[in-house]
Amino acid sequence: MSNYLILGGSGFIGLKIVEKLCKNNNVIVGDIIESPKISQLQNVSFVYIDFVNTTDFTPYLQKIDTVIHLVSTVLPSEGTENLNCEIRENVFSTINLLDSMVNAGVKKLIFIYITNSII
């Protein structure tokens, strides 16, 4: 069994990934909202992680083999109005995650970035 940390795992796509992985793996879902479905799944636990305001993810990475990063704070309706905020919240937070992964010895990252565009 492998150990996965899924950031943003309470969303629609995250839950689908959790449901598939938990059949043969241990899964920790890190998010700011816990989906009620998570408590019904075997081999799955939830931990509150505020991705934007966390600078050190190392405590969440103990015994983790792979991180799946699904977090995005970009809202399509905002366009480029809040570009500096989006860069801080998405890019810098991801850099903090990567630094923590190096420190914890986690070598596998799956980064899925999905957003809707409205032009």
Give residue-wise pLDDT tens across range 57-84: 999 999 999 999 999 876 655 556 677 7
pLDDT level of residue 29 (50, 70, 90 thresholds) = very high
pLDDT level of residue 90 (50, 70, 90 thresholds) = confident
Whether the predicted pLDDT of 116 surpasses 70? no
CA distance 33 to 22: 19
Kindly give, in sequence order, each residue whose CB lies less than 8 Å from that of residue 113, ignoring residues fewer than 6 positions away. 72
Identify the H or E element spanning 109.
strand 108-111
Return left, alpha or beta for 43; rule: phi > 0 is left, psi -120 to 50 is alpha, else beta: left
When pLDDT is averaged across residues 79-93 and rounded to a whole number, the result is 77
| The pTM of the whole model exceeds 0.75 | yes
Instruction: Dump strand ranges (E) for 13-107.
Output: 26-31, 44-48, 66-69
Cite the DSSP H helix spans in the chain. Answer: 12-21, 83-86, 93-104
- Tally of CB atoms within 10 A around 16: 11
Token pair in block for residue 100: 């923590």
Amino acid making up residue 93: S
What average pLDDT is seen over the chain? 89
Amino acid making up residue 28: I
**Domains in the chain, start-ordered, CATH in brackets?**
3-111 (3.40.50.720)
Q: What's the gap between Cα 2 and its chain centre?
A: 17
